[in-house]
Amino acid sequence: MEPAHPAQESLIEIEKAGLRARDLVQQILAFSRRQPLRTEILDLREVVTEALKLLRSTLPAGIELLATLATDTPQVVADRTQIHQVLINLGTNAFHAVRGSAHGRIEISMTGVSVNSDPNGKPIGLGLPSGHYARLSVGDNGHGMDEATREHIFDPFFTTKGVGEGTGLGLAVVSGIAQSHGGKISVYSQPDKGTVFHLYLPAAPQTQTGTGQRILYLDDEEVLVRLYARTLERMGYRVRGYTNSHEALAAFNADPSGFDLMVTDLSMPGISGLEVAKEVLRLRPDLPVVLASGYLTQELRAQALAVGIREVLHKPASVDDLLATIKPLLVVAITVPQAVHPIA
């Protein structure tokens, strides 16, 4: 439809609702079955904006909520739900710190920073490897913390809140999320001078779009094959799509060196995607293979890795999810994000 079509606004809201439903199901699976959480290339501005709306709706009118979102902030590879959880946890802690204050203020900001190593290549300062990072900060002008408190705030079950107000797990979870993303959380605070938390997340590699790389795409849903093939071809890739495992294997066997990457759905009728991958990798052990599935368990991931599959993609997957998965497997060049500020 044309951008000005009256239905566009409703379609956008339908898409947002569908994505929220997907994320909710993933959270339920993650807790009940230890389902691996999903990562994607994230524009942090979107996540911060969502968190700000939620925080604003829960804060008393007398507390000032400020945001500074620098345009130089690089994208990151992260789990949207977890980063949202970090912001809500830190924002809630900030609220507790300024609660009762006549001029309570909470500030959320994001920017790009560079981290350097010493001449021997060892991390300095924050203990992070050299590179470019996105920094999310949540600060307040509340009562602050002394050194003894700061030393334990990330310990599980440590809390300074009253009975019934906290479990002592919030900051422990935040620290765990930072580490699982290859980043770090730091804190600066002094009594009566407020507190600021900084979350550092590695910048996502910026790779070129396709330059003619040849992709074999296999899925039993014809609509998905057409959609992904058309989109990938617009991005500069060459795609041969199939909805039948036998036909895909016949095409590959006829020209094993004619492909640079394969994407296959797991639940294929006749020959499963896992079996297709085994046969393909028997002839081309060096070929990057991506396995897509609507239900991913740790056991399935282990099986896929044992076969030689490089990546596992959770369905339903957007075009951006697919591109984020295959790009690192077809890297031809990496560009470094610009306009980042060194840490003093």
Residue 109 has a pLDDT of: 94
| Token pair of 49 as six digits | 């904006």
Beta strands in 243-287 (DSSP E): 261-265
Q: Can you give the pLDDT of all 344 residues of the chain as single tens digits?
A: 888 898 998 998 898 888 877 766 665 555 444 445 678 888 898 899 888 988 888 888 888 999 998 877 888 989 888 899 899 889 988 998 898 777 889 999 999 998 876 556 555 567 788 888 999 999 999 888 888 887 878 777 666 655 445 555 678 888 888 888 899 999 998 888 899 999 999 998 755 467 889 999 999 988 889 888 888 888 889 999 999 999 999 999 999 999 999 999 998 998 999 999 999 999 999 999 999 988 878 888 888 999 999 999 888 777 778 888 888 888 632 233 333 333 33
What domains are there in the chain, each with its CATH number?
Answer: 14-202 (3.30.565.10), 206-330 (3.40.50.2300)
The pLDDT score that the predictor gives to residue 341 is 37
pLDDT (0 to 100) of residue 333: 29
With a CB cutoff of 8 Å and minimum separation 6, the contacts of 134 are 44, 73, 74, 75, 76, 110, 111, 112, 113, 200, 201, 203
The dihedrals phi and psi of 201, each to the nearest 5 degrees, come to: -125, 135
Tokens standing for residue 180: 């699982």
Write down the pLDDT at residue 152. Answer: 77
Residues facing residue 196 across a β-bridge: 139, 188
Residue 81 has what pLDDT? Answer: 86
Q: DSSP class of residue 258?
A: G
Residue 263 contacts by C-beta under 8 Å, 6 or more apart in sequence? 215, 216, 217, 218, 219, 228, 289, 290, 292, 313, 322, 326
- Name beta bridge partners: 314: 293
Total-model pTM? 0.53
Q: Identify the pLDDT of residue 117.
A: 61
CA distance 284 to 304: 16
Which DSSP letter does residue 36 get? P
d(CA 27, CA 79): 11
Cα–Cα distance measured from residue 22 to residue 254, given in angstroms and rounded to the nearest whole number: 39
| pLDDT number for residue 258 | 93
